[in-house]
Amino acid sequence: MTRVKKILIVDFDIDLQEILKEQLEAEGEFITDGVNNGQTAIDKTLTQHYDLIIMEVGLTDIDGRDVCRTMRKNGMTSPIVMLSRSVEDVDAISALDAGASDYVIKPFKIRVLLARLRARIRETEQSEHAVFQIGPYSFRPLDKSMLDNRNEHKIRLTEKETAIIKFLYLADGAVVSRDKLLGEVWGYNPGITTHTLETHVYRLRQKIEEDPSNAQILVTKPNGYRVVC
């Protein structure tokens, strides 16, 4: 089961918001929130995680590029796709310089926009600076840590624990076999067995599960493991 991505739409045009929400949610790939001004968008990204932001450049309260700069200063790493009617290169350049990940000119074809959104999300997930939301945790592979968003408690992970969690997360909810996970995390090594993997999974559960004997995040399946987000 593919993990549903959460998108924030920031546009003063409520009709366009509704069209985008309907189109993006049509196939169950995305869920969306919509706001019509920059300040509300900034506030929402301080308290909620979004896999991607779609934002109009010409907002009524704050220029979309300034909103983008503020979000980046606040530490948000998710991709931001800017929308504008301007075809001028200087406007596209200024948006990208402000921290936008992409620049799409209105009017656009929804299939083209969808392709760009998927591409930006894939790039971000593969980035060393990616931040993934897994259950109540913000998982930072580069930092080898999981931050419990409920109490700000930081859990330190080993290199192998980080690799296990990241690979399972990027499988988008699919079950990953033990042999596949061993190969991806340890590479070809005849001295490594599934017992090694099971030991690491056991230790991970002690760190991240409220009840390690009844795992809700790192789940065992008949054919392997999966991460539930």
> Do 116 and 148 belong to one domain?
no
Domain C-terminal end among 103, 126, 149: 126
> For position 173, what pLDDT does the model report?
85
Enumerate the β-bridge partners of residue 155: 146
Instruction: Specify whether 168 is located in the same domain as 74.
Output: no
CB within 8 Å of 31: residues ≥ 6 apart? 4, 5, 6, 7, 25
Judge if 119 and 9 occupy the same domain: yes
The CATH number for 222's domain is 1.10.10.10
Give the rounded distance of the alpha carbon of 170 from its chain centre: 10
Helix (H, G, I), strand (E, B) or coil at 213: helix
Residues 33 and 96 reside in one and the same domain: yes
- In the chain, alpha helices (H): 14-25, 38-47, 64-73, 89-97, 110-126, 159-170, 178-186, 194-208
Do 88 and 150 belong to one domain?
A: no
CA 150, 156, 157, 162 torsion-angle sign? positive
C-beta neighbour count of 94 within 10 angstroms = 17
Q: Are residues 196 and 95 in the same domain?
A: no
Choosing from 106, 126, 146, the residue where a domain stops is 126
Q: Residue 52: which CATH number?
A: 3.40.50.2300
pLDDT at 2: 61
Is residue 15 located within the same domain as residue 116? Answer: yes
Asked if 42 and 61 sit in the same domain, the reply is: yes
> Are 89 and 112 in the same domain?
yes
For the chain, the C-alpha Rg in angstroms (whole number) is 20
Give me the amino acid identity at 170: L
Domain limits at 105? 5-126
Task: Say whether the peptide bond before residue 107 is cis (omega within 30 degrees of 0).
Answer: yes
- Asked which of 111, 126, 141 is the last residue of a domain, the reply is 126
Residues 55 and 152 in one domain: no
Same domain membership, residue 119 and residue 12:
yes
Residue 98 shares a structural domain with residue 189: no
pLDDT tens digit at each of 229 positions of the chain? 567 899 999 999 999 999 999 999 998 889 999 999 999 999 999 988 899 999 999 999 999 999 999 999 998 889 999 999 988 889 899 999 999 999 999 999 999 999 999 999 988 888 877 888 899 999 999 899 999 989 989 999 999 999 999 999 988 888 999 999 999 999 867 777 888 999 999 999 999 999 999 999 999 999 899 999 8
Domain count for the chain, please give it: 2
For residue 12, the 8-state DSSP code is: S
